[in-house]
Amino acid sequence: MYRSRIHGACAAHPVHAAALALVACLALVQCAREPEPQITADDGSLMVLLPAGEFQMGGMKEDLEGVPGERYINFEAERPRHSVKLSAFYIGKYEVTNAQYKEFLADIEGGGSAAFDHPDQPEKIGHGQRHVTDEMLGDNQPAVGLSWYDAFSYCRWSGGRLPTEAEWEYAARGPGEEYRKYPWGNEAPDADGIWWANYRPDSGTDRDGYRYAAPVGSFPDGISPFGIMDLAGNAVEWVQDWYSIGYYRSSDGAQDPPGPAQGTKRVSKGGSYGSEAHHIRVAGRFWGKPHVKGPRLGFRCAQSID
Protein backbone atom coordinates (compact mmCIF):
# COMPACT_ATOMS: atom_id res chain seq x y z
CA MET A 1 0.00 0.00 0.00
CA TYR A 2 2.87 2.37 0.83
CA ARG A 3 4.54 1.73 -2.52
CA SER A 4 1.34 2.40 -4.47
CA ARG A 5 0.86 5.78 -2.78
CA ILE A 6 4.41 6.86 -3.64
CA HIS A 7 4.01 5.56 -7.18
CA GLY A 8 0.80 7.52 -7.58
CA ALA A 9 2.48 10.67 -6.30
CA CYS A 10 5.31 10.20 -8.76
CA ALA A 11 2.90 9.89 -11.64
CA ALA A 12 0.85 12.91 -10.67
CA HIS A 13 3.70 15.21 -9.53
CA PRO A 14 7.00 14.13 -11.09
CA VAL A 15 8.90 17.25 -9.97
CA HIS A 16 7.73 16.93 -6.39
CA ALA A 17 8.47 13.23 -6.43
CA ALA A 18 12.01 13.84 -7.66
CA ALA A 19 12.60 16.38 -4.91
CA LEU A 20 11.27 13.99 -2.29
CA ALA A 21 13.47 11.22 -3.65
CA LEU A 22 16.53 13.46 -3.48
CA VAL A 23 15.78 14.38 0.14
CA ALA A 24 15.30 10.72 1.00
CA CYS A 25 18.57 9.77 -0.65
CA LEU A 26 20.46 12.52 1.17
CA ALA A 27 18.94 11.41 4.47
CA LEU A 28 20.02 7.82 3.83
CA VAL A 29 23.56 8.93 2.96
CA GLN A 30 23.72 11.04 6.11
CA CYS A 31 22.48 8.19 8.27
CA ALA A 32 24.88 5.73 6.67
CA ARG A 33 27.93 8.00 6.88
CA GLU A 34 30.58 6.59 9.17
CA PRO A 35 32.74 8.84 11.34
CA GLU A 36 36.09 9.70 9.81
CA PRO A 37 38.92 7.44 11.05
CA GLN A 38 40.94 10.55 11.93
CA ILE A 39 40.04 14.18 12.42
CA THR A 40 41.96 17.33 13.32
CA ALA A 41 40.85 19.15 16.45
CA ASP A 42 40.62 22.93 16.74
CA ASP A 43 44.11 23.04 18.26
CA GLY A 44 45.63 21.02 15.41
CA SER A 45 45.74 17.75 17.36
CA LEU A 46 45.33 14.55 15.36
CA MET A 47 42.37 12.66 16.83
CA VAL A 48 41.96 8.93 16.19
CA LEU A 49 38.57 7.23 16.08
CA LEU A 50 38.19 4.37 18.54
CA PRO A 51 35.25 2.14 17.59
CA ALA A 52 32.55 1.10 20.03
CA GLY A 53 33.58 -2.04 21.83
CA GLU A 54 33.94 -4.05 25.00
CA PHE A 55 37.15 -4.84 26.84
CA GLN A 56 38.53 -6.09 30.13
CA MET A 57 39.60 -3.20 32.35
CA GLY A 58 41.92 -3.49 35.34
CA GLY A 59 45.11 -5.33 36.28
CA MET A 60 46.29 -8.72 37.47
CA LYS A 61 47.95 -9.35 40.80
CA GLU A 62 50.77 -11.38 39.25
CA ASP A 63 51.99 -8.28 37.41
CA LEU A 64 53.21 -6.97 40.76
CA GLU A 65 55.05 -10.03 42.04
CA GLY A 66 58.30 -8.89 43.59
CA VAL A 67 57.39 -5.21 43.33
CA PRO A 68 58.07 -3.31 46.58
CA GLY A 69 54.80 -2.45 48.26
CA GLU A 70 52.81 -4.81 46.03
CA ARG A 71 50.03 -4.73 48.59
CA TYR A 72 49.70 -0.96 48.57
CA ILE A 73 46.10 0.06 48.46
CA ASN A 74 46.51 1.87 45.14
CA PHE A 75 47.52 -1.46 43.60
CA GLU A 76 44.45 -3.08 45.15
CA ALA A 77 42.40 -0.35 43.45
CA GLU A 78 43.35 -1.82 40.04
CA ARG A 79 41.23 -4.89 40.70
CA PRO A 80 39.08 -6.77 39.95
CA ARG A 81 39.37 -7.00 36.19
CA HIS A 82 35.95 -6.30 34.82
CA SER A 83 34.10 -5.89 31.56
CA VAL A 84 33.36 -2.39 30.25
CA LYS A 85 31.44 -1.33 27.14
CA LEU A 86 32.24 1.92 25.38
CA SER A 87 30.62 3.96 22.65
CA ALA A 88 32.82 5.17 19.80
CA PHE A 89 34.88 8.28 20.49
CA TYR A 90 37.98 10.16 19.35
CA ILE A 91 41.18 10.49 21.36
CA GLY A 92 44.38 12.42 20.74
CA LYS A 93 47.10 10.38 19.05
CA TYR A 94 49.65 12.37 21.07
CA GLU A 95 49.80 14.19 24.36
CA VAL A 96 49.15 17.94 24.22
CA THR A 97 52.46 19.69 23.64
CA ASN A 98 54.04 22.82 25.07
CA ALA A 99 53.58 24.61 21.75
CA GLN A 100 49.86 23.90 21.80
CA TYR A 101 49.52 24.86 25.44
CA LYS A 102 51.30 28.17 24.79
CA GLU A 103 48.67 28.98 22.15
CA PHE A 104 45.96 28.31 24.71
CA LEU A 105 47.60 30.62 27.24
CA ALA A 106 48.06 33.35 24.65
CA ASP A 107 44.44 33.08 23.56
CA ILE A 108 42.95 33.35 27.05
CA GLU A 109 45.40 35.99 28.29
CA GLY A 110 43.33 38.94 27.09
CA GLY A 111 39.79 37.85 27.80
CA GLY A 112 40.37 35.46 30.66
CA SER A 113 39.50 31.77 30.74
CA ALA A 114 36.13 31.86 32.47
CA ALA A 115 34.34 30.54 29.39
CA PHE A 116 36.40 27.34 29.50
CA ASP A 117 36.90 26.86 33.22
CA HIS A 118 35.28 24.14 35.27
CA PRO A 119 32.62 25.55 37.62
CA ASP A 120 34.77 24.51 40.61
CA GLN A 121 37.95 26.11 39.30
CA PRO A 122 39.61 27.80 42.29
CA GLU A 123 40.16 31.52 41.96
CA LYS A 124 43.61 32.98 41.46
CA ILE A 125 45.50 29.79 40.64
CA GLY A 126 45.61 30.51 36.90
CA HIS A 127 46.53 28.17 34.07
CA GLY A 128 50.28 28.73 33.91
CA GLN A 129 52.70 25.80 34.14
CA ARG A 130 54.60 25.31 37.38
CA HIS A 131 57.60 23.29 38.58
CA VAL A 132 59.09 23.14 35.09
CA THR A 133 62.56 24.04 33.82
CA ASP A 134 63.84 24.98 30.37
CA GLU A 135 64.68 21.31 29.69
CA MET A 136 60.96 20.51 30.00
CA LEU A 137 59.57 23.26 27.77
CA GLY A 138 60.52 22.17 24.26
CA ASP A 139 57.76 22.83 21.75
CA ASN A 140 57.21 19.14 20.98
CA GLN A 141 57.53 17.86 24.52
CA PRO A 142 54.27 17.17 26.37
CA ALA A 143 52.99 20.10 28.40
CA VAL A 144 53.51 19.28 32.09
CA GLY A 145 53.37 21.17 35.35
CA LEU A 146 49.60 21.29 35.02
CA SER A 147 46.58 20.69 37.22
CA TRP A 148 43.40 18.80 36.38
CA TYR A 149 41.65 22.17 36.01
CA ASP A 150 44.26 23.22 33.44
CA ALA A 151 43.66 20.04 31.45
CA PHE A 152 39.88 20.40 31.67
CA SER A 153 39.95 24.01 30.46
CA TYR A 154 42.36 23.32 27.61
CA CYS A 155 40.31 20.42 26.25
CA ARG A 156 37.16 22.52 26.42
CA TRP A 157 38.96 25.37 24.64
CA SER A 158 40.07 23.01 21.87
CA GLY A 159 36.55 21.70 21.30
CA GLY A 160 36.92 18.47 23.22
CA ARG A 161 36.97 17.04 26.71
CA LEU A 162 39.14 14.89 28.92
CA PRO A 163 38.84 11.13 28.30
CA THR A 164 37.27 9.03 31.01
CA GLU A 165 39.49 6.53 32.78
CA ALA A 166 37.76 3.70 30.90
CA GLU A 167 38.28 5.42 27.52
CA TRP A 168 41.95 6.03 28.31
CA GLU A 169 42.51 2.42 29.30
CA TYR A 170 40.65 1.16 26.21
CA ALA A 171 42.90 3.32 24.03
CA ALA A 172 45.95 1.80 25.72
CA ARG A 173 44.88 -1.83 26.05
CA GLY A 174 42.79 -2.45 22.95
CA PRO A 175 39.48 -4.26 22.48
CA GLY A 176 38.42 -7.70 23.64
CA GLU A 177 39.79 -9.95 26.34
CA GLU A 178 43.46 -10.03 25.33
CA TYR A 179 45.52 -8.83 28.26
CA ARG A 180 48.32 -6.34 27.72
CA LYS A 181 50.42 -5.26 30.64
CA TYR A 182 51.68 -2.33 28.55
CA PRO A 183 50.21 -0.74 25.43
CA TRP A 184 52.57 -2.76 23.20
CA GLY A 185 52.06 -6.09 25.00
CA ASN A 186 53.70 -7.85 27.93
CA GLU A 187 57.38 -7.31 27.11
CA ALA A 188 59.39 -5.18 29.53
CA PRO A 189 59.86 -1.56 28.44
CA ASP A 190 63.51 -2.27 27.58
CA ALA A 191 63.03 -5.79 26.17
CA ASP A 192 65.31 -7.02 23.36
CA GLY A 193 67.42 -3.88 23.59
CA ILE A 194 64.48 -1.75 22.47
CA TRP A 195 63.25 1.21 24.45
CA TRP A 196 59.46 0.93 24.27
CA ALA A 197 58.73 3.96 26.45
CA ASN A 198 60.26 6.96 28.19
CA TYR A 199 60.45 5.94 31.85
CA ARG A 200 62.94 5.55 34.69
CA PRO A 201 64.89 2.29 34.39
CA ASP A 202 66.51 0.64 37.37
CA SER A 203 69.81 2.39 36.70
CA GLY A 204 70.47 5.58 34.80
CA THR A 205 67.53 7.95 34.53
CA ASP A 206 68.39 8.89 30.95
CA ARG A 207 69.35 5.50 29.53
CA ASP A 208 66.36 5.68 27.20
CA GLY A 209 67.81 8.88 25.75
CA TYR A 210 65.85 11.46 27.74
CA ARG A 211 66.28 12.88 31.22
CA TYR A 212 62.84 14.47 31.09
CA ALA A 213 59.83 13.96 28.84
CA ALA A 214 60.66 13.17 25.23
CA PRO A 215 59.12 14.86 22.19
CA VAL A 216 55.75 13.20 21.65
CA GLY A 217 55.86 10.11 19.45
CA SER A 218 59.55 9.41 20.10
CA PHE A 219 58.94 5.74 21.00
CA PRO A 220 57.11 4.20 18.03
CA ASP A 221 57.58 0.63 19.29
CA GLY A 222 55.36 1.51 22.24
CA ILE A 223 52.30 2.30 20.11
CA SER A 224 48.96 0.95 21.35
CA PRO A 225 46.71 -1.45 19.38
CA PHE A 226 44.65 1.56 18.25
CA GLY A 227 47.70 3.52 17.11
CA ILE A 228 47.92 5.89 20.09
CA MET A 229 51.35 7.06 21.25
CA ASP A 230 53.00 7.59 24.65
CA LEU A 231 50.33 5.95 26.78
CA ALA A 232 53.13 4.52 28.91
CA GLY A 233 55.62 6.95 30.42
CA ASN A 234 56.54 10.44 29.19
CA ALA A 235 53.81 12.38 31.06
CA VAL A 236 51.27 11.21 33.62
CA GLU A 237 47.91 12.00 32.06
CA TRP A 238 44.92 13.46 33.83
CA VAL A 239 41.57 11.86 32.98
CA GLN A 240 38.03 12.94 33.75
CA ASP A 241 37.15 10.62 36.66
CA TRP A 242 37.08 11.13 40.36
CA TYR A 243 39.24 8.55 42.13
CA SER A 244 37.70 5.86 44.30
CA ILE A 245 39.60 2.84 45.61
CA GLY A 246 36.63 0.49 45.29
CA TYR A 247 35.01 1.79 42.10
CA TYR A 248 35.96 -1.27 40.03
CA ARG A 249 33.91 -3.50 42.32
CA SER A 250 30.72 -1.74 41.20
CA SER A 251 31.31 -1.05 37.50
CA ASP A 252 31.43 -4.52 35.95
CA GLY A 253 29.40 -4.57 32.74
CA ALA A 254 28.95 -0.79 32.74
CA GLN A 255 28.27 1.14 29.55
CA ASP A 256 30.47 4.24 29.25
CA PRO A 257 31.29 4.38 32.99
CA PRO A 258 31.87 7.99 34.07
CA GLY A 259 33.61 7.16 37.35
CA PRO A 260 32.33 8.05 40.82
CA ALA A 261 29.81 10.86 41.12
CA GLN A 262 32.02 12.80 43.51
CA GLY A 263 35.35 12.74 45.29
CA THR A 264 38.34 14.75 46.42
CA LYS A 265 40.99 13.46 43.99
CA ARG A 266 41.10 12.93 40.23
CA VAL A 267 42.59 9.95 38.41
CA SER A 268 45.75 10.14 36.31
CA LYS A 269 47.15 7.35 34.13
CA GLY A 270 50.21 6.07 32.35
CA GLY A 271 53.19 7.04 34.47
CA SER A 272 55.90 9.44 33.35
CA TYR A 273 59.56 9.93 32.47
CA GLY A 274 60.24 9.56 36.20
CA SER A 275 58.22 6.36 36.77
CA GLU A 276 59.52 2.85 37.27
CA ALA A 277 58.38 0.05 34.97
CA HIS A 278 55.57 -1.17 37.22
CA HIS A 279 54.13 2.35 37.33
CA ILE A 280 53.75 2.67 33.55
CA ARG A 281 51.46 -0.35 33.25
CA VAL A 282 48.08 0.20 31.57
CA ALA A 283 46.22 -0.76 34.74
CA GLY A 284 48.08 1.70 36.97
CA ARG A 285 45.84 4.16 38.77
CA PHE A 286 47.28 7.35 40.21
CA TRP A 287 45.45 10.23 41.84
CA GLY A 288 45.88 13.82 42.87
CA LYS A 289 43.94 16.79 44.09
CA PRO A 290 42.60 18.58 41.01
CA HIS A 291 44.22 21.94 41.79
CA VAL A 292 47.75 20.50 42.21
CA LYS A 293 50.28 21.17 39.43
CA GLY A 294 53.06 18.60 39.19
CA PRO A 295 56.22 18.47 37.05
CA ARG A 296 55.15 15.16 35.49
CA LEU A 297 51.45 15.88 35.02
CA GLY A 298 50.13 16.38 31.50
CA PHE A 299 47.14 15.20 29.45
CA ARG A 300 45.58 14.48 26.08
CA CYS A 301 42.04 15.27 24.94
CA ALA A 302 39.11 13.26 23.62
CA GLN A 303 35.98 14.09 21.62
CA SER A 304 32.55 12.50 21.63
CA ILE A 305 30.87 11.41 18.39
CA ASP A 306 28.02 13.82 17.66
291 and 194 in a common domain: yes
Taking the C-alpha atoms of residue 237 and residue 151, their distance in angstroms, rounded to an integer, is 9
Q: Roughly how many angstroms between the first and final C-alpha of the chain, as a whole number?
A: 36
Q: What is the per-residue pLDDT for 68?
A: 74
248 and 177 in a common domain: yes
Q: Mind listing the pLDDT tens digit for each residue in 18-62? A: 444 444 444 444 445 789 999 999 999 999 999 999 999 999 989
**Sites in the chain below the pLDDT cut of 70:** 1-32, 69-72, 111-113
Q: What is the per-residue pLDDT for 32?
A: 53
Check which CATH number belongs to the domain holding 158 and give it: 3.90.1580.10
Q: What is the per-residue pLDDT for 124?
A: 83
Domain limits for position 27: 2-32
169 and 119 in a common domain: yes
Q: Specify whether the CB–CB gap between 300 and 270 falls below 8 A.
A: no
pTM (predicted TM-score): 0.88
Q: What is the per-residue pLDDT for 70?
A: 59
93 and 221 in a common domain: yes
68 and 114 in a common domain: yes
242 and 140 in a common domain: yes
Q: What is the per-residue pLDDT for 90?
A: 98
267 and 212 in a common domain: yes
Report DSSP letters for 15-62, one per residue.
HHHHHHHHHHHHHHHHHHPPPPSEEE-TTS-EEEEE-SEEEEES--GG
Query: 57-77 in b/e burial notation, b at 16+ Cβ within 10 A?
Result: bbbbeebbeeeeeeeeeebeb
Taking the C-alpha atoms of residue 287 and residue 274, their distance in angstroms, rounded to an integer, is 16
78 and 133 in a common domain: yes
12 and 51 in a common domain: no
Taking the C-alpha atoms of residue 20 and residue 205, their distance in angstroms, rounded to an integer, is 68
Q: What is the per-residue pLDDT for 66?
A: 82
Counted domains in the chain: 2
89 and 6 in a common domain: no
23 and 43 in a common domain: no
Q: Mind listing the pLDDT tens digit for each residue in 215-250? A: 999 999 999 999 999 999 999 999 999 999 999 999
260 and 183 in a common domain: yes
